[in-house]
Structure 1
């Protein structure tokens, strides 16, 4: 089979959370470029509208859905709107997330702990759960891709809540994969290393960021498109026998973390 056929997403419906910025924009474009109809979900409606127009200008299909991933009612509405536009969502990219402001573990407040875990863990589980329920009800095979992090494997100072959430996402991925495999729903995760986005660009461009870059075996941070191959593998039939795994994409960083 040709690679273009193996990785094709024609006829698939994908929903991308956190689609208004950073990796979410790149994920949405990569999926659309390979044939999927895209439901773009985030809180910033104006940004979603702009991305929708860009995708449609390239011949793709997209719908913009304003929603907060921590709002259960908004989640249900988002899936309903995606189904109304294109049919059952068969690809979920669980990308929405927040960063933790660097602070020592002893200084993390209950509010900050819940803010980070509410988005980076709880919402990941609930959106995956909703997507799976609908795929199973529709008897539609599908793929759920959760976005974890290399900090799910090894920690750094000042990111206790974020690292905890991302480690848990890896376990959630495995748990869902085991329970959903026989229904034809695959669940995997991607663990990116350091990618420059608007969330972290100031930090990564600082002196501290330069020091971090020197510790990456490939000698650079991730760039736009570096996750596309992994994303398409897990979303398409190219990865039809892959489930319960987390693929690290980090320029060799986690190898050093693990030793």
Structure 2
């Protein structure tokens, strides 16, 4: 396996458990210094102990990814401890609450988008800019979801947030290529994590969402169905090994579940069909041979 990571430093948000911790272990065992930030300070302390027991150089920092200033504080601590940073893994995220467009409250939308989208923006603007500045190149890995490749009924807020992460990753990959920064977006299907328990770390400004979650839990199926799907997923350490494998082959999109190929392929088929329809249109068909303008 690759040794390109040895002696370099990775910052991982949401690194105290689940996917984040599995990636911390994997990259740490490949010789990286690991900086993990997490909103759950109790779990953060447990993760620190686990990583240090494995002999991994570790720094832990409390981090609410929606708070830009906390990213700056983490960055100061990381640079003081390890110097240059070479990898950012924007992993922290929430699952939201299942529900139709009619009954998904605006507070839920704001919570999901604030954590899953703006958390990634905050991380990339702070840590990503430091990777760019030192000129050695590096990696940015944004954790999205298979839901970011296809919309999911009754999970509109979550799917929209992950589609945004995919699009941001594509944009930044083109933008940062000249700086030798490889941007990849990780799109797993179900992984055994605690994402279905996202309400446990709810920020004070979104406490109204907790009542919505309680109502959902009492409804038929409720959050239990989401929990069952998550529990059926692959182990997080399997995902972590797959990420390293994909980085070795320089994948912009990191997929962990090849069985979802048909679903994503059907979307591609519909897109291609839509372009064919536009080509045959008497209204816009004449544009097919025009020069492409990069927006």
TM-score normalised to the size of structure 1? 0.85
Pairing 1:223–2:230 present? no
Tell me if the contact between 1:52 and 1:64 (Cα under 8 Å) persists in the aligned partners: yes
Match of 2:23 in 1: 27
Tell me if the contact between 1:144 and 1:186 (Cα under 8 Å) persists in the aligned partners: yes
Where 1:106 maps in the other structure, the secondary structure is coil
Compare CA radii of gyration and give the structure with the larger one: 2
Tell me if the contact between 2:19 and 2:240 (Cα under 8 Å) persists in the aligned partners: no
Give how far 1:204 is off: 11
Where 1:200 maps in the other structure, the secondary structure is helix
Pairing 1:232–2:282 present? no
Pairing 1:184–2:191 present? no
**Post-superposition, which runs of at least 4 consecutive aligned residues in structure 1 deviate over 6 A?**
201-205, 207-210
Per-residue deviation, residues 74-104 of structure 1 (Å, max 9, x unmatched): 0111111111111121111110000111111
More relative contact order, 1 or 2 (CA 8 Å, 6+ apart) = 1
How many residues were matched structurally?
Answer: 243
Tell me if the contact between 2:16 and 2:47 (Cα under 8 Å) persists in the aligned partners: yes
The structure that is helix-richer by fraction is 2
Tell me if the contact between 2:26 and 2:241 (Cα under 8 Å) persists in the aligned partners: no
Give how far 1:149 is off: 0.4
Partner Cα separation in structure 1 for residue 123 and residue 35 of structure 2: 13
List aligned pairs for 1:14-163, cutoff 5 A.
14-163=10-159
Tell me if the contact between 1:132 and 1:185 (Cα under 8 Å) persists in the aligned partners: no
Structure 1 vs Structure 2 CA RMSD: 2.4
Structure 1: stretches of 5+ with no match in the other structure: 214-219
Per-residue deviation, residues 130-157 of structure 1 (Å, max 9, x unmatched): 2221112222211000001010112222
Where 1:96 maps in the other structure, the secondary structure is coil
Partner Cα separation in structure 2 for residue 67 and residue 226 of structure 1: 26
Task: Mark the CA change 1:110 to 1:53 in structure 2 (over 3 Å): closer, same or farther.
Answer: same
Match of 2:260 in 1: 253
Partner Cα separation in structure 2 for residue 191 and residue 91 of structure 1: 18
Tell me if the contact between 2:28 and 2:56 (Cα under 8 Å) persists in the aligned partners: yes
